[in-house]
Structure 1
Amino acid sequence: MKIAFMGTPEFAVTVLEGLLNTKHEVGLVATQPDKAKNRGKKIQYTPVKEKALEHNIKVLQPEKVRGNEEFLEELKDYRPDIIVVVAYGQILPKEVLELPKYGCVNVHASLLPRLRGAAPIQRAIIEGDEETGVTIMQMSEGLDTGDMLAKESIKIGTMNYSMLHDALAEIGARLMVHTLDLIEEGKISPEPQDDSKSSYAKMVFKQEGKIDFTRQPEAVERLIRGFDPWPGAFCEYEDMVMKLWKAQPLCENTGKEPGTIIEVSARGIKIACGDGALLVSEIQIPGKKRVAVPEYLKGNQIKEGIILK
């Protein structure tokens, strides 16, 4: 099939690479506009643009897709059989959705209809889901509401965002290739979503990384994993912002005010948290790299009794 690909971040690159290793033809890529980096001194291409240029694929970067006649004409001239959309970053209008023979198909990083929206990977971890996965969806005008074409699940376990992101991207690439083959062979069976079972994964904002130690240690540990590497889970130690990167919930009643540093040892920093405690084994202070607690303690001090804010 003749494919137009629309995507922007690293997650989309993995799927694009999967398509480039098949019999299908990817001759046109659309991605978000380039951004200025380092205070405007250097232009940064999107990861998808970099990959497309490596393979000499034509790249379009419309500021806006909706109402953009020039972009629509470019798509029409290419005459794709199908448009594959992965984390593109813009809502597609009806005229784009209906342009190809087989419409537009999307890789969404959740088991729809659960966790529609912008941040399904982070929310799956933070909300304590035991499993998540990838859904290949026929796109409609609603937000992640189209018919489901394929699904595959994965156990989250102790994975952080980065690990789960990469695992889901690999699943997405494989599942999309398989789905395209089924579409081409006329063997696909679309399944409507049950809207009554839907939930929404809202966009992540930096301030959400601020740790509330009155919450249960299991919830804080999930926050740490879900926001690794961005925005990071953070608190204030005296006058310094400290990021916590690895932690283990402990079932022990400390009797201390939440946020109190109870003990500092080679095992880590034990902090009163909710009805229990949190044992933190990896931290980061401003201007420094993330480091294991024993390593940090070789040249620095962390005081017991301080209350983290």
Structure 2
Amino acid sequence: MFNIVFMGTPEFSVPSLNLMIEKFNVKAVVTQPDRPKGRGKKIIMPPIKNVAVEHNIPVYQPLRIRKDENLIKELVNIKPDFIVVVAFGQILPKEILDIPKYGCINLHASLLPKYRGAAPINFALINGETKTGNTTMMMAEGIDTGDMLLREEVEITENMTYGQLHDILSKNGATLLVKTIKNFNSIEHKKQEDSLSSYASMISKEMARINWEMTAKEINNLIRGLNPHPIARTEYNNIVMKIYEAKVLEKNVNNKPGTILNVSKEGIEVACLENTLLVTKVQIPGKKPLEVKEFIKGNTVEVGTLMC
């Protein structure tokens, strides 16, 4: 049975670690440090650490892995067959990449070489892709540039959100990792075509602000790609309004983009550069997210007002 060192941090990594524990011998888990979270700034363990603790697996939490000489020595002593990396959040130095017998394998949530980087799931949705998937790859010193091992496609349906796609890729990726490790010696290593690559940067708060001078489809893709976090947002009467869900209406108008055209229990209809957007679920500060049909019972939304 292969000896594995697993490196990962967020919820996305959990199905992969669970399957690694079930199928192989996980000798250690490396994850990010515990950090404060939420309004109360309570110190929270990474999801991966919770799994490791439940299974009595040693956990290491380096602040900067490339400078942690003690951890590097521990990894050498473990003598892993593979280091498996799933959304760890730190770049591994060559010193660590060279440790395992067969190499370091990374699970990346895109069809490489498209969407290298930190937010491939978000950008697949934001850019209106109709398919994405997972790729297992050998890790190199660049960011998601190593040789590809296996790829598996996933269809993106019309109204799929980031949260839904995240869960599908997380679960499917765990199975793909097991398949990759079990068949490692017979899998062809394929170099990535750099000319076909694109980069998915980290999502910033600025990116979440809706520009109504975009088409309704583009805005809806942004909304889907940022749900459930950090959530697309706009301003209505100087109040930040988060938009969780919307629909594209094949209806063109001459109103200035951002103008509220109609308000009903069906939603808030807003003019866009092309077609209109029917906003169906919103949130304002201090309140819970609500379907528009519930929101308008206690809040006034005026036709003719400009979202900005």
- TM-score bracket, shorter-length normalisation: over 0.9
Q: Tell me, yes or no, if structure 1 residue 50 matches structure 2 residue 64.
A: no
Amino acid at match of 1:33: P
Alpha carbons of structure 1 residues 33 and 207: separation in structure 2 relative to 1, 3 Å: same
1:261-276 equivalence runs, <5 A: 261-276=260-275
Number of the residue aligned with 1:21? 22
CA distance in 2, matches of 1:84, 1:229: 27
CA distance in 1, matches of 2:109, 2:41: 34
Q: How many residues are matched?
A: 306
Amino acid at match of 1:89: G
User: What displacement does 1:40 show?
Assistant: 7.1
Amino acid at match of 2:198: S
Number of the residue aligned with 2:169? 168
Deviations 1:18-46 (A, max 9, x none): 21221x10120000011123567632101
1:95-114 equivalence runs, <5 A: 95-114=95-114
CA distance in 2, matches of 1:72, 1:88: 16
Number of the residue aligned with 2:287? 288
Number of the residue aligned with 1:279? 278
Number of the residue aligned with 1:146? 146
Number of the residue aligned with 1:245? 244
Number of the residue aligned with 1:218? 217
Deviations 1:31-77 (A, max 9, x none): 00111235676321011111100111000011111132101111011
Percent identical pairs in the alignment equals 49
Amino acid at match of 1:159: M
User: What displacement does 1:251 show?
Assistant: 1.8
SS at 1:288 equivalent:
coil
CA distance in 2, matches of 1:236, 1:91: 37
Number of the residue aligned with 1:128? 128
Amino acid at match of 1:190: H
Number of the residue aligned with 2:60? 60
CA distance in 2, matches of 1:39, 1:263: 36
Amino acid at match of 2:30: A
CA distance in 2, matches of 1:36, 1:282: 29
User: What displacement does 1:152 show?
Assistant: 0.2
User: What displacement does 1:302 show?
Assistant: 1.0
Amino acid at match of 1:5: F
Q: Which runs of 5+ in 2 are unaligned?
A: none
Number of the residue aligned with 1:6? 7
SS at 1:298 equivalent:
helix
TM-score normalised by the chain length of structure 1:
0.97
Number of the residue aligned with 1:156? 156
Alpha carbons of structure 1 residues 39 and 308: separation in structure 2 relative to 1, 3 Å: closer
Alpha carbons of structure 1 residues 227 and 103: separation in structure 2 relative to 1, 3 Å: same
Q: Tell me, yes or no, if structure 1 residue 199 matches structure 2 residue 198.
A: yes
Over aligned residue pairs, what C-alpha RMSD do you find? 1.1
Deviations 1:136-169 (A, max 9, x none): 0000111101011100001111210000000000
Q: Which runs of 5+ in 1 are unaligned?
A: none
Deviations 1:68-88 (A, max 9, x none): 210111101111111000100
Number of the residue aligned with 1:189? 188
SS at 1:123 equivalent:
helix
Tell me which stretches of 4 or more aligned residues in structure 1 moved more than 4 Å.
Answer: 38-41
Amino acid at match of 2:72: L
CA distance in 1, matches of 2:242, 2:67: 43
Amino acid at match of 2:279: V
